[in-house]
Amino acid sequence: MNSLYRDSRLYKLLAAGNAGTRVARSSLMMECIPNDKIGRVDSLFRAVGLMIRILLLSVFTGAVSLESVMMPYAILGAVLSVSLINGMGLIKTVKKEETDISQAM
């Protein structure tokens, strides 16, 4: 019973994160992309996301069967580290642009 409760909390957390990501993506697209192109851009993002998921699932499944369970964790750690570094660089760039825009006004 306790593990079922923990699993339901995990599902709620994942659902909230997934929904928040969808709302953020939709809001950003509505602000930045012309209305006649939103559907195409959204389809592109969804297709790329699906391809990344399929690729990672294939690599992780193959690594578990050939190597050990720790190899997929190492790959995932590397992917997350690269994503974190890219995200931090993006935040710095956006803050710098906001500062430049506010100083220009």
Looking at this protein, which amino acid is placed at residue 66?
L
| CA 46 – CA 91 distance, rounded (Å) | 24
Contact 33, 41 (CB under 8 A): yes
Segment 81-98, tens digit of pLDDT: 998 999 888 888 878 877
Segment 23-37, tens digit of pLDDT: 777 888 888 889 899
The first and second tokens of residue 16, run together, are 């909230």
| CA 59 – CA 39 distance, rounded (Å) | 30
Q: Return the DSSP state at 35.
A: G
pTM of model > 0.95: no
